[in-house]
Structure 1
Amino acid sequence: MAETVAGRVKPRPIIRIGLFVISHSTLVSIVCCVAGVLALLLLPVLAKSTYFSENALMPGSAKSMLSGKNVVEANRFVKELSSLGLKPPSTGLEIPKLIATRMADLGGEVSYHNFHPQSKYFHPLHFFSTPDPGMVKANYSCSSYGVNIVGIARAPRSDGKEAIVVVTPYNSTNISLGEAMSLGIAYSAFSLFTQVSWLAKDIIWVAADSRHGEYDSIVSWLRDYHAPSFGGLEKLNAKVCRESLVTGSEVSDSFLRGGTMAAALVIKVADGSELFDKDALSIHAEASNGQMPNLDLINVVNYLAVHGQGFYVKVDKLPSLLRSKWLKVLGKVIESLGKIARNLNPQWKFGIPVSEYVEGTATLASSLYNQALGVPTGLHGAFRDYQVDAVTLNILPKSSSYHKARRSEFLLNGARLVEGITRSVNNLLEKFHQSFFLYLLTSPSKFVSVGVYMIAFLLLIAPLPVVAASLYSDAHKCNPELKNKEVTSMDFVDGRTFKSKSWRWLYAAKTVFVIHLWGFVVTVLPFFMSQIRGCSSTTSLLIWIASSGFSLILMHVLLGSPFVTTSIPQSKGKEWLLLKSVTITSAFIGLCLMSVINFATAEIGALLTVPMCLMARPLKQDLKVRSTKAFARAALNLFLLHIGFPVAAYFLVKGAFEGFDNISVGDFWYWVESLWVWNSATYIYICMAYTPCWVLCIHILLHPC
């Protein structure tokens, strides 16, 4: 029970602590923001080594069964593909026929999958749903279709309820040497899978035709695999095209399926070569909305590639951070602190070498950046939309790997890697679930879990509710006439003004609501813009910005200006306090919701939004004071608003992570289009949460105090 002192109720300790924090909101904001940034920079130091959570995987426990005979046949297959690739571009039927014939010769069940390119026009009703199959026109020719070749090696020890997918993209009209090599690796592994007796899951090899785009090919196949369509013009056209491809009775005329997909591997071989002393393997794992495969899958790939086949394994790094001088200085400071900590207590394992810290930070920033973009970094992203754990393995041969004498060894190592990964996944009795799904990589063998990296985000957004409560309290304290007035109901004075101070925040809430309603209009504008054909990316972006500004003016006319609130005589000039309080509250809610969907987007959004919201203050007040502090605050506000503009923020983040070379205005529009294609929630956050918050901060700065 609450204690009483001199007839007055003494607040509970938790309430007293809350009031103390609110009364010192400025200090709390500075401490939390600085701590949040430092926690983010310390994540590479806090990274842990990866480990296998699922014991059934047992990577490397079995000896490879892939023989030299499999590689010889694969080498001959690569030569046949290369010879077809040297010929002038054809109708795109010769290479699919050859792949289908070789699949059938190995004993696999083979079928063709015809698809047509998908429309990339934005449609709000199809957002967060399966891709739109589009309309198939009667005059579609076979050349306008893509052709996927699907081969299935049935598992002798299963009932066909589970499957593992191997994808090799190729261009059916002009195949490159790298694509031929990736098909050769899959051919070697598939020739083994059709012969072994230990398979407990079906193996599905998809040779995906990439002449109309890699994503279209695999997305169309996955859509038909999980949600088949029956009848209609599309089936008739596909059947006609299939008849021109069929080479014999060994190719099925129906869509073949396996069981539920346990995992998927996308195999790609680079056309060029790396200047390493051994073959390199780059792992790409980020999917739409920052989704990641189970960490155990990456651990299996890394372990078998390094310890089994001797690959140099790497993940994406940001080159700009590798050359950063300030990051090296920070690394030296952390290394020195680590030495001091070990001298005090040898058990304190704090601090890492400078080189390891710089590389870890560059890798972690790349992982954070790729997840925040909201679009996949490879074909594996199509599988994550169906909750299938998948990665893209981009193999980069060393300079001598394309020589004829070295090609067989390269094919053998690549096929054995596929065999080992498949064998580990084959041991699972259930889907991946033991290890982490939410993590950031600092190297192929180190990661930061969700329980650690969320600390930085929580510290960054912690000041928002504190400052919102402080502003709400200050807005009422500055009203001496209503300070002690007890009003429990809402009255109107001349039908315009509230008497009750308890409802004064509704004026600010109205402004925030109208601006967020305008954010919804901005979200759906690209649907109408997509009706305009032939516009360049730069033109489309400028039209979008101009139409968004016009829609804001139109809403001012139709709904009443959100920038002019009814004055409350007793608190004249203090409406901006309540407006800022409600604005900060809406920004806090938006960041929290986005962190559930895509943490990386919320993290970068917090780095941009939190300073902008906390610093916002009417410029008129600072100009009246005419002090150095006031002018500095006004200049900082203007700077934050300039870099906070969504287009400017995109180029700032992209330049900071990728470098400012070769950046064009149209890049923002291309990125937005990719968000539509993958139904990324990042697009919704930018249009309906971040942009309205930026507009409201402008309103606070221009508020007529």
Structure 2
Amino acid sequence: MSINYPNISQTNRRKELVAGRSDSRSPMASTAETEGQKPKHRPIIRIGIFIIAHSFLVSVVCCTAGVLALLLLPVLAKKTYVSENALMPGSATPMLSDQDVSGATRFINELTSLKLKSWNMGIEIPRLIALHMSNLGGEVNYHKFQTQPNNLHPLYFFTSPDAEANIVNKTCQSYATNTVGIIRAPRGDGKEAIVLVTPYNPVNLTQNEVLSLGIAYSVFSLLTQVSWLAKDIIWLAADSQYGQYNSVAAWLRDYHTPSFGGHGKLHADNCHGTSGMHESKLDTFVETEVSDTFRRAGTMAAAFVIKVANTGEEGEQDALNIYAEASNGQMPNLDLINVVSYLAVHGQGLRVKVEKLVSLLDSKWLNFIGEMLESVGKIARSLNPQWKFGIPVQEYVEGSATLVSSLYNQAIGVPTGSHGAFRDYQVDAITLEISPKLSSSTKARQTEFLFRGGRLIEGVVRSVNNLLEKFHQSFFLYLLTASNKFISVGVYMIAFLLLVAPLPVVAASLFSDATKSKPDSQKHKSTSSEPFQSWRWLYPTKTIFLVHLWGAIVSLLPYFIYQIPDCQPTSRLLIWASLSIIILAILHSFFGPSSTHLQEWVLLKSVTVSSLFIGLCLMSVINFATAEIGALILVPMCLMIKPWKVAGKAHSAFNFLLLTIGFPGAAFFVVKGAFGVRNGSGLVEFWYWVESLWAWNSATYIYICMVHLPCWVLCICILLHSC
């Protein structure tokens, strides 16, 4: 019998393996092996640490790139195009005939003669309009309403209050009457409608308003006869004696609000003006056809406000001005503007214009930038003909002026016309303002003008009539640089992202520096107190919370100031400023800073920068243009601010300059002077501007009071911090 003994070499190897495993399990052995070696992080963490460590360089690069991206936006603009194939603008031959224009001419003559003869135009003109609507075959009704005061109410800031609850002065003088005519589509089911709005003042009717009513009459006359109409047509002759926006908004409010038991009449039948309508000497046939019962059509697919502007310069062609901005930067679908622009240029030979900031057209620094970009474009094309970069200087300057105007109109949050009332109900709407030639007073010229305007509206209505669904194919977020060029949100948001990108980086860097350093009083303490160092951020957070609470109180003060009777605008502004300073002093005395260590202002700046980042990002969701302008003003100020005892003299002087420009009142006057805007002077103008923001429920007012102003106060606290 043989015995197999294990191999000695194999046994030794097993022992070595067992010994190695026991060493690997030993914490002392692993500590000895890894002593002096830093743990390796994931690549994304290493990139984050590197960016935070070089926060200053990142801030300079990102802010510079953000400003350059803004200056390059006119170069990056694209030409407009119709995204929705169903619109098919210009595919059909215009059907507006001489008979329709002749009827419009007679209608204009009757309005003109009635304006000259009648002393009670506020009653007779709406009756005359209703008579012609009814004779053309439309369903006609009067819409009597009372104007609502635009006063700030904290509970109704972002909502539309009930009409009855908001009416203060129930006198007959404040009542107005809209005249509404509806054409039922022969090929439709009554579920959709297109709205034509012609604002006019029946008490003081102008020739331009007469012409706009004539254009609408010619189109209304045509649409009552066509067989291709698939959407109902609503012609709203809006009584604008108390404001164009108010008349349209009142009609829309009643249109979308069910009325029970004559709720929408507001007891207007007791007024002399309303009863006088039934005593007119006009054709009594209209009394059997016109009703005070509110008539409705389908869901509104689009709306067009038709206006005629003052005559242009001698020798100019007829021009079309398009206004699209609504409340809080809302814009209609770009396809709506594209269809109107295409039909105006290629169909009627009109010169399409959008609003631009005229004072920038002669700007020397803007021309200098345009020349540089044109030179760079020439060099790029010489290297590669396919590189299409750079535009002519004049095109760049005009595009920049239009871009600034579009950015400002969206940022201020106030509608540029009565079309803004439709956007509050998610209806795409624009204002078409036609400017005739100087020689439009002749009869032949007036007929030509009616043909052009009527066929333009006919073509637009026909394109929208082809839609089977709401506008959705094209852009809703865009900026215009010309009537046929736009910048989409995917392009202009890059500048904003570059401007705000340094904020979280700097906040993380400051917080890291503050947690690494210790106050002198705590250097000799035991290490047992180190876990409590992470709670130091509670002090700056408490300070920032109180300052933003102060901003909320400041935003509500005007409502209570308005309760003071017989108070002038300058007095209201001074009361507002005084109360704001007193409340801030009270909060500072009760909950002011309790420490003067170096880490405190660093943590305060870190949390301030973080709150600014959150505020700008939230505002970009509501109104991107406001966030863009706010980032241009606040980001450099917050990144550069330091206590004056820490910063040098040059740095402190620069901080004072940024703080001066960053104050909302100073920024208002600086921007006004830089752009050459002249609308009054002094504190009264600033008060009226702020008053208009809250009267129109603009979110920019909330942003100024609860983001911009608190951030400015916190920067003052950092600057005056005693280290």
Interval of TM-score (by shorter of Structure 1 and Structure 2): over 0.9
Tell me how far apart the structure 1 counterparts of residues 293 and 523 of structure 2 sit (CA, whole Å). 78
What amino acid is aligned across from residue 234 of structure 2 in structure 1? I
Over 3 Å counting, the alpha-carbon distance change for 1:252 and 1:233 in structure 2 is: closer
Matched, 1:471 2:510: yes
Instruction: Name the counterpart of 2:545.
Output: 513
| Residue in 2 that maps onto 1:344 | 383
Distance 1:175 1:614 in 2: 56
Residues 1:307 and 2:346 aligned together: yes
2:152 alignment counterpart? 122
Offset at residue 696 of structure 1 (A): 0.4
What's the CA shift for 1:665?
Answer: 2.3
State the alpha-carbon separation in 2 of the partners of residues 307 and 450 from structure 1: 28
1:674 alignment partner, one of 692, 699, 707? 692
AA of the residue aligned to 2:708: Y
Range 85-94 or range 504-513, more displaced: 85-94
* Partner Cα distance (1:485, 1:186) in 2: 84
What is the alpha-carbon distance in structure 1 between the residues aligned to residue 256 and residue 516 of structure 2?
61
| 1:387 counterpart = 2:426 | yes
Matched, 1:565 2:594: yes
Kept after mapping to 1: 8 A contact 2:108/2:214:
yes
Measured after TM superposition, the shift of residue 674 of structure 1 is 2.6
What is residue 703 of structure 1 aligned with on the other side? 721
1:223, distance to aligned residue in structure 2 (A): 0.4
Conservation of the 8 A alpha-carbon contact between 1:119 and 1:134: no
- Whether 2:158 is the aligned partner of 1:133: answer no
Count, aligned residues = 681
Contact kept in structure 1, 2:340 and 2:460, CA below 8 Å: yes
SS at match of 1:600: helix
Contact 1:104 1:250 in 2 (8 A): yes
Which of 658, 667, 673 aligns to 1:655? It is: 673
Contact 2:519 2:599 survives alignment (8 Å): no
C-alpha displacement at 1:544, in angstroms? 1.5
Measured after TM superposition, the shift of residue 473 of structure 1 is: 1.3
CA drift of 1:526 comes to 1.2
Between the aligned partners of 2:635 and 2:453, the Cα distance in structure 1 is 47
Tell me by how many angstroms 1:178 deviates: 0.5
SS at match of 1:146: strand
CA separation of 1:515 and 1:142: change in aligned 2, threshold 3 A: same
Aligned-residue offset at 1:355 = 0.8
1:494 is aligned to none
Counterpart for residue 109 of structure 1:
139
CA distance in 2, matches of 1:139, 1:50: 47
Shift of the 151–232 alpha-carbon distance from structure 1 to 2, 3 Å rule, reads closer
Deviations 1:249-269 (A, max 9, x none): 110220011100000000111
Question: 1:366 touches 1:657 (CA, 8 Å); kept in 2?
Answer: no
What is residue 618 of structure 2 aligned with on the other side?
593
Confirm whether residue 546 of structure 1 aligns to residue 574 of structure 2: no
Question: Which residue pairs with 2:184 in the alignment?
Answer: 154
2:655 is matched with 637
Q: For residues 31-80 of structure 1, what are the alpha-carbon distances to aligned partners after superposition, in whole Å with 9 as ceiling and x for unaligned?
A: 11111000000001000111111000000100111001111111111122
User: Residue 248 of structure 1: which of 272, 287, 290 is its match?
Assistant: 287
Please name the residue that 2:22 is paired with: none
Counterpart position of 1:265: 304
Q: Write the letter of the residue equivalent to 2:331.
A: M
> Which is worse superposed, 546-555 or 198-207?
546-555
Name the counterpart of 1:609: 634
**Structure 1 counterpart of 2:124, one-letter code:** E
Q: Which residue of 1 aligns with 2:7?
A: none
- Give deviations 1:316-335, integer Å, cap 9, x for gaps: 11111111011111111101
SS at match of 2:155: helix
- In structure 2, distance between residues paired with 1:120 and 1:135: 13
Secondary structure of 2:567's counterpart equals coil
1:159-198 residue pairs with structure 2 within 5 A? 159-198=189-228
C-alpha distance in structure 1 between counterparts of 2:259 and 2:566, whole Å: 32
1:576-612 residue CA offsets vs partner (Å, 9 max, x unmatched): 0000000010001000000111110000000111011
Contact 2:80 2:338 (8 Å CA) reproduced: yes
- CA displacement, residues 606-639 of structure 1 (integer Å, 9 cap, x when unaligned): 01110111111111233xxxxxxx2221111111
Q: Does 1:530 align with 2:562?
A: yes
**Match of residue 39, structure 1, among 69, 76, 79:** 69
- Deviation, 1:648, is 1.4
> Which residue number in structure 2 is paired with residue 625 of structure 1?
none
Aligned equivalents of 1:262, 1:124: Cα separation in 2: 32
Change beyond 3 A, Cα 1:483–1:139: closer
Cα gap change, 1:180/1:690 in structure 2, threshold over 3 Å: closer, same or farther? same
| CA offsets 1:523-572 (integer angstroms, 9 cap, x no match) | 11111112123333333222221221122123335xx233x2345xxxx2
User: Which residue is 1:409 aligned to?
Assistant: 448
Alpha-carbon offset, residue 425 of structure 1 = 0.2
Q: Which one of 349, 356, 359 corresponds to residue 320 of structure 1?
A: 359
CA distance in 1, matches of 2:52, 2:119: 70
CA RMSD for the aligned pairs? 2.2
- The one of 421, 433, 438 equivalent to 2:472 is 433
- Deviation, structure 1 residue 13: 1.6
Per-residue displacement from partner, 1:266-318 (whole Å, max 9, x unpaired)?
Answer: 01111343445211110000111101000000000000000111111000111
Note the alpha carbon deviations across 1:440-475, whole angstroms, 9 max, x for none: 001010100000000000001111111111111111
Where 2:51 maps in the other structure, the secondary structure is helix
- Post-superposition offset of 1:486: 11
Query: Residue 421 of structure 1 is aligned with which of 455, 460, 478?
Result: 460
120, 136, 143: which one pairs with 2:173? 143
Indicate yes or no: 2:308 matched with 1:290: no
Answer with 215-224 or 546-555: which moved more. Answer: 546-555
> Structure 2: which amino acid aligns with 1:107?
G
Structure 1: how far apart are the matches of 2:329 and 2:526?
50
Aligned partners of 1:136 and 1:351: how far apart in 2?
A: 54
- 1:61–1:139 distance in 2 versus 1, CA, 3 Å: closer
1:368 aligns with 2:398: no
Output the amino acid matched with 2:698: S
> Per the alignment, do residues 381 and 486 of structure 1 end up closer, same or farther by CA in structure 2, a change over 3 Å counting?
farther
**In the aligned structure 2, how far is the partner of 1:89 from the partner of 1:618?**
70
- For 1:658 and 1:204, how far apart are their aligned partners in 2? 41
Q: Output the CA distance in 2 between the equivalents of 1:470 and 1:138.
A: 55
Equivalence for 1:277: 316
Q: Which of the pair is proportionally richer in helix?
A: 2
Give the residue type in structure 2 aligned to 1:466. V
Q: Determine if contact 1:85/1:176 at 8 Å carries over to the other structure.
A: no
How far residue 406 of structure 1 moved from its aligned partner, in angstroms, is 0.7
* Alignment partners' CA distance in 2, 1:551 and 1:697: 18
The yes-or-no answer on 1:225 pairing with 2:255 is yes
Indicate the residue corresponding to 2:16 in structure 1: none
Contact kept, 8 Å, 2:199 with 2:244, in 1: the verdict is yes
Change (3 A) 1:342 1:136: closer
Rate the CA distance shift 1:139–1:222 in 2: closer, same or farther, 3 A. closer
1:120-161 CA-partner distances (Å, limit 9, x unpaired)? 111010111124425587984443201110110110111110
Cross-structure match for 2:602: 577
Residues 484 and 683 of structure 1: CA distance in aligned 2, closer, same or farther (over 3 Å): farther
Any stretches of 5+ residues in structure 1 without a counterpart?
Answer: 492-497, 623-629
5+ long unaligned stretches in structure 2: 1-32, 279-285
- Is the 8 Å Cα contact of residues 333 and 428 (structure 2) preserved in structure 1? yes
Question: Secondary structure at 2:267's aligned position in 1?
Answer: helix
- 2:650 aligned with 1:621: no
